[in-house]
Amino acid sequence: MSIHWYVLRTKRHKERIVHCQLQAQEIRVYYPSIEVEPVNPRASSIRPYFPGYMFVHLDLEAEGDNFLRWTPGTHGLVRFGGEPAIVPDNLIHELKKQLAQLQSLKAEKRNLKKGDRVRIVSGPFQGYEAIFDMHLSGKDRVQVLLAYLNGQPQRIRLNARLLEKTS
**Three-state DSSP state, 5:** strand
Cα dihedral sign, 57-58-64-66: negative
Q: Write down the H helix ranges in the chain.
A: 15-24, 60-63, 66-70, 89-110
Would the CATH topology of 4-110 be identical to that of 117-165?
A: no
pLDDT of residue 105: 65
Length of the chain: 167
Domain residue spans in the chain? 4-110, 117-165
Q: How confident is the model at residue 102 (pLDDT cuts 50, 70, 90)?
A: confident
Identify the pLDDT of residue 30. Answer: 96
Question: For the whole prediction, is pTM greater than 0.85?
Answer: no
C-alpha span between 85 and 77 (Å, rounded)? 8
Per DSSP bridges, beta strands 33-35 and 74-77 are unpaired
- The yes/no answer on whether domain 4-110 falls in CATH 3.30.70.940 is yes
Q: What is the CA radius of gyration of the chain?
A: 22
Give the pLDDT confidence of 122-153 residue by residue, as tens digits. Answer: 888 888 888 888 887 766 788 888 887 777 88
Confidence of residue 108 (pLDDT cuts 50, 70, 90): low
- Architecture in CATH of 117-165: Roll (2.30)
pLDDT tens by residue, 55-76: 999 999 888 888 888 899 999 9
pLDDT for residue 85: 93
